Amino acid sequence: MSTNIVAYVDAPGTEDGLQKNSLDLFRTSLLLSRDLPISVFLIRRVQTTRTLEVEERESLHSLLSILSSHVHRVATLVIETNLSSSLPDAVHLLTANTSVLEQVKYLVLTSNHDDSIPSPHVQTTPFFPQSNGNVLTTRSYSTLTTLSVDGRNIFPILHYDVVSAFSRLETLYINHLTYLVDGYFEERVYKLFETIAGITLRFLNTLGFHDFEIPPPVTRDELGISRPCPLLSFSIDRLVIKETNRESMAYILDCVTNPKELCLIGCYFNATAVSQSSQSRFQDPAGSVRLPTLRLPDCEQLTLVNTEAEDEDLASIISQWNGQRLSRA
């Protein structure tokens, strides 16, 4: 059993007293929890549009600095920001030579908007810095069962093989993994699916993608890269895909071939979800848009959430599905 502690990362306003009071309250809550395990939620009070928020990052930095001396007691850490660039560096957070999240079971780093297009004005620095500038030290996170990170963070986790420390991981969610994310390379997407399919994550039973997007045809031509092609396929108990376009869904389902349960939330099945420039690449000689083929696996359970009931493209896809149970919400 753990003690829940909530603090808000929203910009605290212009009055220094308001910010100081918020930080003092967070510090006091940590002290009052004594040596008990803690569940810490650093979240947004209000969701806003995709705008630059320097104050959000500074506020989160201050909160995590206070948390650093208690981090060994953290059982759950949920960080929700408006912008992905405000999130902490997951690799440094997990591998710093100072206090680490040695008891963490649930680690969630998520944002409402992806703004990770390379910019000289936004830099990522570790919130729990390494001592003496030593190289990364990976520890075993045998307690970690749920991990949710953004696309910008998943690539360094793979590169430094931090994932090998997640020996008991059961649930993995990745949000905002698109070709616009800092550090995106097709080989890294291949590495992601290869790692998930490997023996390292042998306890993984739930895999989720929120806003997953491979490059559209026109962009791939402009960048001189070929269409992504999955290297291997595997099955999993539960696959969740949220707010993802048709071609990118097809790519995921080429890799994850036989989930027992498939949940599609607010996904885009029709031509209106394809940009004007990309639509021209899917047009037949008569000028009609012919989208990439999408065939849903014949899984035991298919759940559709926030989809248009009158969507003709979806109706056609469902008509070819031969699974056992279909539900809509």
Q: Is residue 209 part of a domain?
A: yes
Residues 16 and 139 in one domain: yes
Q: Is residue 183 part of a domain?
A: no
Residues 254 and 157 in one domain: no
Give the pLDDT of residue 52.
Answer: 60
Token digits of residue 183: 């550090």
Q: Is residue 28 part of a domain?
A: yes
Boundary (domain end) residue, out of 168, 193, 219: 168
Residues 136 and 219 in one domain: no
Which residues lie across from 138 on neighbouring strands?
A: none
Tell me the average confidence (pLDDT) per consecutive run of 10 residues in the chain, 329 residues long.
Answer: 88 51 91 94 80 78 91 95 90 73 92 70 41 50 93 89 89 92 81 83 93 72 53 83 92 89 92 48 51 84 83 82 91
Q: Is residue 259 part of a domain?
A: yes
Give the pLDDT of residue 194.
Answer: 86
Give the pLDDT of residue 316.
Answer: 85
Residues 224 and 144 in one domain: no
Q: What total number of domains does the chain contain?
A: 2
Q: Is residue 221 part of a domain?
A: yes
**What is the rounded CA–CA span in Å between residue 190 and residue 227?**
12
| Token pair 């056609």 in the structure block, residue | 316
**What is the rounded CA–CA span in Å between residue 71 and residue 55?**
23
Give the pLDDT of residue 280.
Answer: 47
Give the pLDDT of residue 181.
Answer: 86
Number of C-beta neighbours around residue 195 at 10 A: 18
Q: Is residue 188 part of a domain?
A: no
Which regions of the chain does DSSP assign to beta strands (E)? 3-8, 38-43, 74-83, 106-113, 146-150, 171-178, 206-213, 238-242, 261-265, 301-305, 325-328
Amino acid code (one letter) for 105: K
Give the pLDDT of residue 220.
Answer: 52
Residues 261 and 329 in one domain: yes
Q: Strand order of the sheet with strand 74-83?
A: 3-8, 38-43, 74-83, 106-113, 146-150, 171-178, 206-213, 238-242, 261-265, 301-305, 325-328
Amino acid code (one letter) for 124: T
Nearest CA among 2, 206, 210, 207 for reference residue 104? 2
Give the pLDDT of residue 287.
Answer: 52
3-state SS, residue 245: coil
Q: Is residue 141 part of a domain?
A: yes
State the pairing for strand pair 261-265/238-242. parallel
Give the pLDDT of residue 300.
Answer: 94
Give the pLDDT of residue 208.
Answer: 97
Residues 225 and 145 in one domain: no
Which residues form the domain of 306?
Answer: 205-329
Token digits of residue 215: 């490059």
Residues 163 and 16 in one domain: yes
C-alpha distance across the termini of the chain, in Å: 33
